[in-house]
Amino acid sequence: MKVKTKDGVKEMRAVWMEGDDVVMIDQRDLPNRLNFFTAKNHIDIHRSIKDMMIRGAPSIGVTAAYGMAQAAVKGADMEEAAETIRSARPTAYDLFYAVDHMLTNMGDDPIKAAEKYADSVAAKCRAIGEHGAKLISDGTRILTHCNAGALATLDHGTALAPIRAAHGSGRDIFVFVDETRPRLQGMRLTAWELNNEDIPHAIIADNAAGHYMQRGEVDLVIVGTDRIAANGDIANKIGTYEKAVVANANDIPFYVAAPVTTFDPNTPSGEDIPIEERDPLEVLDIHGVRIYPKGSPARNPAFDVTPNSLITGFITEKGVFSPKELSRMFD
């Protein structure tokens, strides 16, 4: 992805290895500061995922792969390292896929195996962009939710990949960016990425999305996802279900962009996806400033489930599929 720095525009991934260290953009500090975190061991990897220094299912998966390679090179107990990394967050399927992949495919050169995994994720996201861009014509106005860009997916993005590809081909597009309470990943991260790419956009409050859909100012909705169940139900950032319902009510196509590794064939439906509940203070505080009446409790589910009946199609590295065509992705 392009990142504007004081030294000019640089190409950068969300996470990478330097020797046997794992280095990542600390996403908690964006957009105000471009800071980096260096993980020295699998305990640091666990903390970086759990504390959301790195986030987004594919980026979490790549970080896990790097963490497993790091553990192997440093002579750690691999089963203990695997369990520690797996326990960081419960919903993103890529985390578990990457750990299992590395246990099976590490071979004699763990770092090379992890880099191969990372490059495959980036290539899949580029392909998602190429397939998804075919859905975007000149003048298309797109709504997206949370951050499913390069920060969340190592490079290119899932939901943002078609947007990047369409913009790169010269198409005139506009993006509505949901702020995405409570952690504001849309406002802080998606807008930061679009600004770095000079893609026209506007940040909107989460509850303004329906207003713009009803007024005919949104042509297409594209979101990412952290897990796709066998029947095509998805778990994505809290608020995605609402966007799907309103898009459906206004006859607006609703697409989910994700690599095939996000599909979990062992989870029958959305009802079976574990939904992470995070610290209520994420809802009650903004950057440490209390915004609630003392004594009022809060709930903080990180994800919700959107049923397959509300999804127009899945944009993957293998093409675009309707929920009824999901089995074709594994042919």
Work out the average pLDDT over 213-240.
96
Active site residue 26: no
CATH number of the domain residue 281 falls in: 3.40.50.10470
**Number of domains the chain is built from:** 2
The answer on 137 and 55 residing in a single domain is: no
Enclosing domain of residue 281? 132-330
Condensed to tens digits (0 to 9), the pLDDT of residues 164-173 reads 999 999 999 9
pLDDT(5) > 90: no
What pLDDT is stored for residue 220 in this prediction?
A: 98
165 and 252 in one domain?
Answer: yes
* Residue 4: HSE in the Cβ half-sphere, 13 Å Cα cutoff: 9
Residues 36 and 165 in one domain: no
Peptide bond into 259 cis (omega under 30): no
What pTM was computed for the model?
A: 0.92
Residues near 310 by beta carbon (within 8 Å), at least 6 away in sequence: 241, 244, 245, 247, 248, 254
- Active-site hit among 206, 226, 233, 264: 226
Strand partners, 229: 264
Of the residues 124, 155, 175, the one at which a domain ends: 124
Has residue 33 got a pLDDT over 90?
yes
* Among candidate residues 124, 142, 174, the one where a domain is terminated: 124
Q: Do 117 and 173 reside in the same domain of the chain?
A: no
Q: Are residues 178 and 310 in the same domain?
A: yes
Please give the share of the chain, as a percent, with pLDDT higher than 90: 88
Q: Are residues 57 and 162 in the same domain?
A: no
Boundary residue ending a domain (124, 157, 192)? 124
DSSP state of 90: S
